[in-house]
Amino acid sequence: MPAGLEAMLLVGLGGTIGACLRYIVSGTLPMLKGIPTGTLLVNVIGSTILATLTFISEPFGSIHLINIGMLGSFTTFSTFAYETFRLLEEGQKILFASNIALNLLLCLSGVFIGQQIASLI
């Protein structure tokens, strides 16, 4: 396992990469029928990659760089929560419920897919 400073630098580097990727993905996708698809997509991709790497037990260095750093800043529960709350605040009850359901079901599906991918490796 990397020492404290090395681990922190790996997390920081991964976080920088993940934040930039999130900006690109979230910023290029339009809302689809009122659902914030950019946030949904980064959460699904992040869940799938995180599960794949976790289930194949990658070395600790990549856990700090990729799992904690890159995927930690790429996926975004706080943005999901804010965007979902705004839908409720705007009276969009169906979109509110749809956004919650899509994020939960698709991200959990991503974890299952990641586990399946890991079992093939």
List the domain boundaries for the chain.
Answer: 4-120
Structure tokens at 117: 């991918």
For residue 106, what pLDDT is reported? 93
SS3 54: helix
Sign of CA pseudo-dihedral 27, 25, 46, 73: negative
For residue 4, what pLDDT is reported? 87
Per-residue pLDDT of the chain (121 residues; tens, 9 = 90+): 557 898 899 999 999 999 999 999 988 888 888 888 998 899 888 888 888 887 787 666 678 888 888 888 888 787 788 889 989 999 999 999 999 999 999 999 999 999 999 999 8
For residue 110, what pLDDT is reported? 92
Sign of CA pseudo-dihedral 30, 33, 34, 39: negative
pTM of structure: 0.74
Is 72 assigned to a binding site?
yes
Is 91 assigned to a binding site?
no
